[in-house]
Amino acid sequence: MMQPTRSTKIAAIQMVSTPVVEENLASARRLVADAARQGAQLVLLPEYWPIMGMKDTDKLAHAEQTGGGPIQETMSELAREHKIWLVGGTLPMAAPDDGKVLNTLMVYKPDGEQASRYDKIHLFSFTKGEESYDEARTIVHGERVTTFDAPFGKVGLSVCYDLRFPELYRAMGDCALIVMPAAFTYTTGRAHWEILLRARAIENQCYVLAAAQGGKHPNGRRTWGHSMLVDPWGEVKSVLPEGEGVVIGDLEISRLQGVRESLPALTHRKL
């Protein structure tokens, strides 16, 4: 069996996506290139990075079929150009229901080949005052827990609202890293984002890399940002509060092993 890489530089991209796909593709290219220049070997994009429409239904017009389309092609090109593992946030993918899409995370290898796919399982719904969201109006939920194997270990895939469901992460098994692309609202993010990210890292004794939307969007929505890297002890190693940018840090196998050896909670599970 291949021994895991001892130290890997990983990065999360924070964006403030617009309704214009071409603008967002250009921003992603620039930010991923920046992360690669800093030595990142795995780069994570945020949820809805290719489009944050003026209306929820705007994304339907940009839904892609498996294996083709400008968004998937851009991700494959970026992975190949920079020789990185690219975890592509989410994009709208065609669903069996013609009036809806799947909110899909794609993973690409350093040669540009697709390595994995995860369709977001838990769909966000929130109402408070004038704020109201219901992803189920335009999105079909996924059904399959998904991980993939990277050189440093197993990576668990999750998206935004999934963060509130710890049973999903238990179902992933022993991961070295959990990724969390998101577009948390300002209200829910301020209250719960960091707490939940640190909880998932602590209880699963692994790294958590979170890439967020972070700012005021043309559609009037304000997202919380605070993309971050959290280590297996729950320590925030790097964070970007708001605006475009890159969060970068090291995934250290020795740190992960040290936490698990000193507090072997995963081996103490009875349920």
Tell me if residue 55 is catalytic.
no
Query: Do residues 159 and 180 touch, judged by C-beta distance below 8 A?
Result: yes
Could you give the CA distance from residue 78 to residue 6 in angstroms, rounded to a whole number? 25
Point out the catalytic residue in the list 160, 175, 206, 242: 160
Output the CA torsion sign for 234, 182, 140, 74: negative
Task: Give the residue from 133, 141, 128, 130 showing the smallest Cα distance to 55.
Answer: 133
Residue 207 phi, psi dihedral angles, 5° rounding = -75, 145
Tell me if residue 77 is catalytic.
no
Point out the catalytic residue in the list 120, 135, 175, 206: 120
Tell me if residue 160 is catalytic.
yes
Task: Kindly list the catalytic residues.
Answer: 47, 120, 160
